[in-house]
Amino acid sequence: MNIAVCVSHVPDTTTKIRIAADKQNIEQQGVSYILNPYDEFAIEEALKLKEKNGGEVVVISAGGETSKETIRKALAMGADRGVLLKTNGFVDSISLAKALAEEIKSNGSEIVLMGKQSIDYDNSITAQAAAEILGYGCVTVCVDLKIDGTKVIAEREIEGGREVVETSLPVVISAQKGLNNPRYPAIKGIMEAKRKPIAEKDAALGKVHTVLSELKLPSAKNPGRIIGTDSSAVPELVRLLREEAKVI
């Protein structure tokens, strides 16, 4: 079984974002990067499939030189080899999906896994777009996956419940929290990762679909208000929650 996992190198969730002077980037100083948390579920699922059925897990990431750190983390968890599709600056999701699809096609992967979204740009579109370009089936927001031969039975998270869907290989799956518990890399895996190959090539992005005009910070939140400190404040609190905040 030939499995591809697409991963993103993203700023840590605790990063305090500051926008750089060019308004195209965030300030890099003091920012640490991590493997996109949703991609961890994708890697874990790929490794479980490999442990069950054999095969190879290839990790693909589009980005700059530093994205190799994230590829190495996936290799440390147990993936077999990495591919870095080199890009420079902002890449729109459709172009990204095209570049990933090119690589997946040349690799012949029949199962493609990735996080349901990357926590930096939050587009939640790459999996669907890549599936469309490849002509593969697609299951998004997946929380349970069973593959038997070429038959794929997956559960998706939907509002208030789950949806069970069936499709067949080849398929692109986007992973949601709950799919599994991602493993921590073992020291052995970390040491082996440095000996695993990472191929580098230019990303085949093709036509540019969307350009980044400007990054902006959200407007500052209003400070909290203290209505009172004892039970006499409750009626006013209820009134405000109902009439002003309109949450009850």
**Residues interacting with another protein, by CB under 8 A?**
14, 16, 30-32, 69, 72-73, 76, 184-188, 190-191, 193-194
Quote the CA–CA distance of 99 and 206 in Å, as a whole number. Answer: 8
Quote the CA–CA distance of 171 and 163 in Å, as a whole number. Answer: 17
Q: How far is the CB of 131 from another protein (least distance, A)?
A: 31
Quote the CA–CA distance of 191 and 198 in Å, as a whole number. Answer: 15
Q: How far is the CB of 176 from another protein (least distance, A)?
A: 18
Q: How far is the CB of 161 from another protein (least distance, A)?
A: 28
Tokens of 72: 């190495």
Nearer to another protein, 31 or 233 (CB): 31
Nearer to another protein, 68 or 162 (CB): 68
Nearer to another protein, 72 or 116 (CB): 72
Q: Comparing C-alpha atoms, which of 26, 11, 33 is closest to residue 89? A: 26
Q: How far is the CB of 196 from another protein (least distance, A)?
A: 13
Nearer to another protein, 72 or 98 (CB): 72
SS3 state at 10: strand
Question: Percentage helix, strand, coil, to 5, in the chain?
Answer: 30, 30, 45
